[in-house]
Amino acid sequence: MVGVPDAYRGKTVKAFVALTDAYRENVTPDELIRFCKERMAAYKYPRIIEIIDEVPKTLTGKYLRRKLRDQ
């Protein structure tokens, strides 16, 4: 999850999701947002979800958030 500019809030939450092949065709970003909205506080759930093939990582396995912010 990263923060992206938002006209109303200043910043909002954007999530990047890498799905396995079993779920790739069955799950939509809207379904994931609805799932998160039911289980998370209003200020925490992602307003934008982007489905990607693979989350970029460093050699040590940490997520490269700055690379995700540029997308």
Q: Which CATH number belongs to the domain containing residue 37 in this structure?
A: 3.30.300.30
* 1-21: pLDDT as tens digits: 888 888 988 988 899 999 988
- Looking at the domain assignment, is residue 24 inside a domain? yes
Looking at the structure of the chain, the number of domains it has is 1
Mean pLDDT, rounded, for 31-39: 95
Provide the phi-psi class of 23: left if phi over 0, else alpha when psi is between -120 and 50, else beta: alpha
- Looking at the domain assignment, is residue 37 inside a domain? yes
Residue 51, strand partner residues: 17
The pTM of the full predicted model, rounded to 2 decimals, is: 0.80
Range list of H helices, 1-71? 21-24, 29-39, 65-69
* 61-70: pLDDT as tens digits: 999 988 888 7
Q: Are strands 48-52 and 2-6 parallel, antiparallel or unpaired?
A: unpaired
Q: Which residue range forms the structural domain that includes residue 33?
A: 2-62
Rounded-to-integer distance, Cα 15 and Cα 17, Å: 6
